[in-house]
Amino acid sequence: MIVGLTGGIGSGKSTVARAFGSLGIGWVDADDVAREVVMPGEPALAAISEHFGNDVLHADGTLNRSALRSIVFDNPTERKWLESVTHPRVRERILVHLERLQRQSPYVLLVSPLLFESGQDKLVDRTVVVDVPVELQLSRTRARDDVSEAQVHAILAAQLPREERLTKANDVIDNSGDHASMMQQVTQLDQHYRNKYL
């Protein structure tokens, strides 16, 4: 079984994935895969630098993510172009990683901030949304990523609204409390998945 784990920026998806990992569950992080496909030497990076120019590259030839982010979040057309180049490659690489993990884990997680928006939910059997109030998303993201409030709002605007994401969820983890509360919810879901679906 593949479980899709998603949530808005700053909701704590990675923390929740690590909690499942502590229970022996493997996961693939779509953000990590997205970074893989734009490494130097990858076809996607060549296409991106050809399209946007060398301003989106660091001196060492790696992708300057903040420069690219500032272009695409202000321009929906450019964001769509970027997604057309990266999303198919990310999806293909995700499938390779999931297949490898399925041989080692009772079930696996696909951790993706854009699970529904990118169509990656079609790769999974169940979906879990990690949920926190929008105000908490804002404060956590600003503290973690050192970005402006305007940039956080632009990122939020590119993601499904909280209410819509919740309606698409099979299961929800409320991550607005402390670590123990989150861990209890993860443990209960893990038992549910093992008992009902395996």
Annotated binding site for ATP: 10-15
Q: Residue 113 CB: number of other CB atoms within 10 A?
A: 23
Rounded CA separation 89/120 (Å): 12
**Token pair listed for 62:** 């790696």
Structure tokens at 90: 């990310």
Q: Are 86 and 72 in contact (CB under 8 A)?
A: no
- Of the candidates 3, 12, 2, the one whose C-alpha atom is nearest the C-alpha of residue 139 is 12
Spatial distance between the Cα atoms of 108 and 102, rounded to a whole number of angstroms: 6
Known binding residues are 10-15
Find out whether 97 and 33 touch, Cβ atoms under 8 Å: yes
Give the CA-trace dihedral at 174, 122, 77, 9, to 10 degrees. 20
